[in-house]
């Protein structure tokens, strides 16, 4: 029987970042021998599939158009067809799916297509987002295109390309610092580093398929973020044209040491998504519940879409409690923190009771819409 759910990796990055070049390299790695690749075509002439060194059975070419909008239906159909071919034996094994988006794509709709379809959610899981950044043009691209900022903000892995062509070391260091500011939890790699294996770049989700164990610290990006405090107080009033997008991106961490009622968690997520779903680029976390404290609950959301929660078979280490990571654009931090405190019953926060909160989230102190 097929081994479900199948991990899906989203490979993104702005135009010219080098996605096809990296993909060619990854497909030569034995770690991706059983991977299928879905390549988005954008333009009148489909050429990207000709640049990928993979047999036609391993490359699935979508119709003309942007993966995140006009051909999203084709993406769902393609993923469903892969499952059908696997179940009927037309594909012997499928260890992973890699989706290469167009450089102009907002990655959120692609992630939603994987996480939101009622049938696909049983067969696939979003393993991670890998974003390429062209260091020669990265700063200018971030200045001009909010899509590029989103691509960086939601990434689990950031891969820097064309570093061997850089002459201005100070500019490269400034870009690295800017990327850490946008996404302090993403691990960063240099595409020119021959030691960077496919397993390091692509396999970045909650589970290690080879061992079936969970690495929560890595999945939440805690190791990458521990040496970088992500604050925006100094940027809030920065009207510099170059960083107008950066100041809008916030990464918030919410923690709670003791077990929570499942209903409290559900209410917090429901209110957060209903009020600010469009601002929420990504949410992921692990929760210790009162009903099942020995089996942690995993939650994952992209914008207004909440992936069905899943239970891990057990805690991977001694650390318990709740850890949530939220990445958003113009996400009101004070409101989110007070909403979470009210939902989990933190006594030090002066908020209405939970019933009143559910009826009127506008009553939360600090809410500004």
**Domain CATH number, residue 155:** 3.40.50.300
Reported as type and span, the H/E element at residue 197 is none
**Which residues touch 295 (CB under 8 Å, ≥6 apart)?**
311, 312, 313, 314
Alpha-carbon distance of 149 to 246, in angstroms, equals 7
Q: What is the structure's pLDDT at 150? A: 94
Give the pLDDT of the chain (369 residues) as one tens digit per residue: 567 889 999 999 998 999 988 888 888 888 788 888 888 766 656 677 777 776 566 777 776 566 555 555 688 888 988 899 889 988 888 888 999 888 888 888 888 888 888 888 889 988 999 999 999 999 999 999 999 999 999 999 999 999 999 999 999 999 999 999 999 999 999 998 877 787 788 888 786 666 667 888 888 988 788 755 444 444 444 444 456 689 899 999 999 999 999 999 999 999 999 999 999 999 999 999 999 999 999 999 999 999 888 888 889 888 999 999 999 999 999 999 999 999 888 644 444 454 554 444 444 433 333
Specify the number of domains making up the chain: 2
Clarify whether residues 62 and 202 are in a common domain. Answer: yes
What's the whole-model pTM score? 0.84
For residue 127, how many other CB atoms are within 10 A of its CB? 25
214 part of a folded domain: no
76 part of a folded domain: yes
Q: Taken in order 223, 227, 230, 235, is the CA torsion positive or negative?
A: negative
234 part of a folded domain: no
For residue 66, how many other CB atoms are within 10 A of its CB? 20
Clarify whether residues 55 and 131 are in a common domain. Answer: yes
Domain-ending residue, one of 154, 189, 207: 207
Alpha-carbon distance of 124 to 115, in angstroms, equals 8
**Chain-centre distance for alpha carbon 150:** 10
170 part of a folded domain: yes
Alpha-carbon distance of 366 to 337, in angstroms, equals 9
369 part of a folded domain: no
Tell me the CA end-to-end span of the chain in Å, nearest whole number: 49
231 part of a folded domain: no
Domain-ending residue, one of 157, 190, 207: 207
Alpha-carbon distance of 329 to 280, in angstroms, equals 7
Clarify whether residues 293 and 200 are in a common domain. Answer: no
Clarify whether residues 50 and 104 are in a common domain. Answer: yes
Whether 316 contacts 356, CB under 8 Å: no
Strand runs (DSSP E) across the chain, as ranges? 6-13, 35-41, 59-64, 96-100, 124-134, 157-161, 187-190, 207-208, 213-214, 249-256, 280-287, 297-302, 305-306, 310-311, 322-329
Clarify whether residues 203 and 256 are in a common domain. Answer: no
Clarify whether residues 68 and 139 are in a common domain. Answer: yes
Clarify whether residues 122 and 194 are in a common domain. Answer: yes
Clarify whether residues 277 and 201 are in a common domain. Answer: no
Whether 255 contacts 237, CB under 8 Å: no
Clarify whether residues 259 and 196 are in a common domain. Answer: no
Q: What is the domain range of residue 325? A: 245-363
Clarify whether residues 196 and 286 are in a common domain. Answer: no
* 310-311/213-214 β-pairing: unpaired
For residue 72, how many other CB atoms are within 10 A of its CB? 17
Q: What are the beta bridge partners of residue 297?
A: 287, 311
Query: Residue 315's domain is classified under what CATH number?
Result: 3.30.1220.10
Clarify whether residues 191 and 68 are in a common domain. Answer: yes
Whether 136 contacts 20, CB under 8 Å: no
**Closest by alpha carbon to 60, among 43, 83, 31?**
83
Clarify whether residues 199 and 256 are in a common domain. Answer: no
């Amino acid at each position: 029987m097929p081994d479900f759910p199948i991990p899906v990796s989203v490979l993104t990055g702005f135009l010219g970042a080098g996605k096809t070049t990296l993909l060619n390299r990854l497909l030569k790695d034995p770690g991706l021998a059983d991977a299928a690749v879905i390549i988005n075509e954008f333009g009148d002439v489909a050429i990207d599939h000709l640049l990928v060194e993979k047999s036609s059975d391993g490359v699935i070419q979508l119709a003309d158009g942007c993966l995140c909008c006009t051909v999203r239906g084709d993406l769902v159909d393609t993923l469903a067809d892969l499952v059908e071919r696997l179940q009927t034996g037309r594909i012997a094994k499928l260890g992973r799916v890699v989706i290469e988006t167009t450089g102009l794509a907002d990655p959120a709709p692609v992630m939603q297509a994987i996480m939101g379809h009622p049938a696909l959610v049983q067969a696939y899981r979003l393993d991670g987002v890998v974003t390429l950044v062209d260091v020669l043009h990265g700063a200018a691209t971030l200045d001009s295109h909010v899509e590029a900022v989103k691509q960086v903000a939601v990434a689990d892995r950031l891969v820097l390309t064309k570093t061997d062509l850089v002459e201005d070391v100070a500019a490269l260091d400034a870009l690295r610092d800017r990327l850490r500011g946008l996404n302090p939890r993403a691990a960063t790699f240099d595409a020119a580093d021959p030691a960077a294996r496919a397993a390091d770049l692509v396999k970045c989700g909650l589970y290690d398929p080879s061992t079936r164990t969970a690495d929560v610290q890595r999945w939440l990006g805690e190791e990458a973020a521990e040496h970088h405090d992500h604050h925006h107080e100094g940027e809030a009033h920065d009207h510099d044209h170059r960083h107008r997008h950066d100041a809008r991106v916030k990464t918030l961490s919410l923690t709670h040491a003791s077990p929570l009622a499942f209903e409290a968690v559900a209410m917090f997520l429901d209110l957060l998504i209903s009020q600010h779903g469009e601002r929420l680029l990504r949410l992921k976390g692990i929760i210790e519940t009162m009903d099942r404290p020995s089996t942690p609950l995993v939650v994952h959301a992209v914008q207004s879409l909440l992936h069905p929660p899943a239970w891990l078979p057990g805690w991977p280490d001694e650390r318990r409690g709740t850890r949530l990571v939220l990445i958003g654009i113009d996400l009101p931090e004070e409101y989110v923190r007070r909403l979470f405190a009210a939902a989990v019953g933190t006594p030090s926060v002066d908020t209405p009771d939970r019933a009143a909160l559910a009826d009127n989230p506008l009553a939360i102190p600090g809410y500004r819409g």
